[in-house]
Amino acid sequence: MASFCRPDGQCHGEFMPQLDPRQMPGILANMLTSILNAPGQHQSREDWKRKVLIPSGFTVDEIDISVSGKQLKIAGDKDDQSLHVSISIPDDVNAKALTTKWLDAEHSVVIIGPREPQPQVDSDHMKAQLEAWMEDAKDILHKVVSHKEDSDEVNFDPENNRMNARDFACKESKAQFHRVQMEIRGFHPDEISVLTKGNKVTVTGFHVHQSGEDCEEKRMKRTFSFPDEADLTKISWKVDRHSEMFQVFAPLK
């Protein structure tokens, strides 16, 4: 914080010395402990909130939300499409008092749960947990910075169902290929699998997200019927990162 002087000649503040980044975990942990241990601070705590993206193929009336113990379950089932989400509810959240809110603009549901009062705070435990979170954050930041994407589109090798960004050579042509597409919001490209049986193509996804206090498992499945003249032995697929659309191609015989 820089110093400044008023017109009356009185000066306030001082320049902040440069900090060693290695000191930040301890500084933040001490600040957090002081706040949590301050009188009355632990009486009112922020609610637990989770937002779950819902595929556009489902309406709000087609989604079922239920609670079993400390597990929150979100499910949707149609003839050719299914969605199943399981979220572990933190121990300090009142699972019987959960409320939900539907967001039309984002086509998602928000779950809100009040926290139980926590009269005591283990400062040593909080400091250790914060330091662990800081280390995880540094590892994630390093991976994000060092990762280089060769293309906005990720393509796949259907023989082993692994991503192959350079070998995909499918040239889209309405006269020669049959194409289907679906939205895969909330899933990473390497969490998507494609299976064929007869003239049907099934796209499945499995996503796990672990946060500091809960865990979310998300599964989806959708089946497409291809025309009889489509050669599913030469099927190919790709992901458009911008539109989050998954496209499947099959040449026509």
pLDDT on residue 22: 56
Do residues 179 and 247 lie in contact, with contact meaning Cβ atoms separated by under 8 Å?
Answer: yes
pLDDT on residue 167: 42
pLDDT on residue 155: 41
pLDDT on residue 100: 93
pLDDT on residue 209: 86
Q: Where in the chain is the domain with CATH 2.60.40.790?
A: 45-120, 153-251
pLDDT on residue 32: 60
Strands (E), 69-168: 71-77, 81-88, 99-103, 108-113, 153-157, 162-163
Q: Which CATH number fits domain 45-120: 3.90.190.10, 1.10.20.10, 2.60.40.790, 2.60.120.260?
A: 2.60.40.790
Q: Domain 153-251: which CATH class?
A: mainly beta
Q: Along the 253 residues of the chain, how does pLDDT read in single tens digits?
A: 444 445 555 544 444 445 555 555 566 656 665 655 555 444 567 899 999 999 888 988 999 999 999 999 999 998 889 999 999 999 999 999 999 999 998 899 999 999 987 665 556 666 677 667 766 666 655 554 444 343 333 344 444 444 343 444 444 444 589 999 998 888 988 899 999 999 999 999 999 988 777 889 999 999 999 999 999 999 999 988 777 899 999 999 8
Contacts (Cβ under 8 Å, ≥6 apart) of 44: none
Nearest to 48 by CA among 107, 104, 116: 116
Q: Dig out the tokens for 149 from the structure.
A: 């994407």
User: Which residue type, as a one-letter code, is found at position 193?
Assistant: S
